[in-house]
Chain A
Amino acid sequence: MDSFDKSCNVAKHNYDECFQKWFNRFLKNRDTNLNVCDAEFREYQQCLKKAMKEEKLDFKEFEEDILGTEKEYKPPPPK
């Protein structure tokens, strides 16, 4: 799948590939060493964050965590 900025595609796909390999080891062998993809992630993020800045995206909205917090929506009570 393409990145938000096409110029980040190569870095993104390198990272995705590294992550997916690690994820298989995580499921099968409980390999918790996600750091193996740090270099790929850093390169990808450098490109992506620059592209997001150029688009003037509001980072605050992106950084906010909702899941697992009080702000998470709850289903209405059953009737």
Chain B
Amino acid sequence: MKYFEDTTTFKYSWDQVVTGFWRRYPNPESSHVLTEDTLSRELKENKLYTKRMLTKTNRLPKWGERFVGNRVVKIIEESILDLQNKTLVTYTRNIGYSSVMSVVERVEYRVDTDNHNQTIAVRSAWIDSSVFGFGRAIQSFGLERFKKNCGKMVSGFNFVLNQLYPTHGTQLPRETVSHSKDRLSDAANKAKSIAKSGPYYASCAPEN
């Protein structure tokens, strides 16, 4: 199993980020997200519990197609929004094909303690495959794709936030992009030097 961790700062308040969270799709970076549905929603002691189903296209390299026929994958997104502590935790996993490739992602959005007008998102992802003989290759492919999509998720989310709050936040500044690129290549070099199966820390890859 491969593990990936990343921290993103959004230049919007927590209230703005969690409002935007429910309107994240569609955005110019989300063409792979096809549908979004709420399956259940409950409010218990100022905590909002939501379960949603997303469907996404699941692009695979040629060699991977033999394992998966249907290329639309269903994703379950659970979330708990705690108004008291101002945290939103989301937990997503794919349904079906999880022995071919399972991607589990947990994101925690919380107020930036250094700047209350900003929000920190800590993202963890676990990528696994138990296809005999191909497990490791699929995991590596899955990790690379996840990192790519992760950059898209951030810039897509920023796009939506900027639409909702044009005067408040700033567009993702240039230096942030190049900064994360630097961090990415650093991380890539670092990754080469650490054990292949070990925990993997890197920043979201911006879409090239």
* Interfacial residues, chain A to chain B (CB-CB below 8 A): 1-4, 8, 12, 15-16, 19-20, 23-24, 26-27, 30, 32, 34, 41, 44, 48, 57-58, 61-62, 65-68, 72-73, 75-76, 78-79
Are A27 and B15 neighbours in the complex by a CB distance under 8 Å? Answer: yes
**B126→A23 contact, CB < 8 A:** no
Known: A3-B37, A41-B41. A62 touches B3 (CB 8 A): no
What is the CA–CA distance of A8 and B37 in the complex, to the nearest angstrom? Answer: 10
- With a cutoff of 8 Å between Cβ atoms, the chain B residues found around residue A27 in the complex are 15, 18-19, 83
Asked if B106 and A1 make an inter-chain contact with CB atoms under 8 angstroms apart, the answer reads: no
Bound CA span A61–B90, Å: 17
Binds A, one of B20-28, B133-141, B144-152, B167-175: B20-28
Fill in one digit per residue for B173-208: 1 if any A CB lies within 8 Å of its CB, else 0.
000000000000000000000100011000000000
* Number of cross-chain contacts by CB at 8 Å: 89
Contact A12 B124 (CB under 8 A): no
Residues of A within 8 A of B51 (CB): 62, 65
Chain B residues lying within 8 Å of A26, measured Cβ to Cβ, are 48, 83
Considering the chains assembled together, what is the distance between the CA atoms of A4 and B126 in angstroms?
26
Residues of B within 8 A of A65 (CB): 51, 78
Q: Is A79's CB under 8 angstroms from B41's CB?
A: no
B38 at interface by CB-CB < 8 Å: yes
CB <8 Å contact, B95 and A61? yes
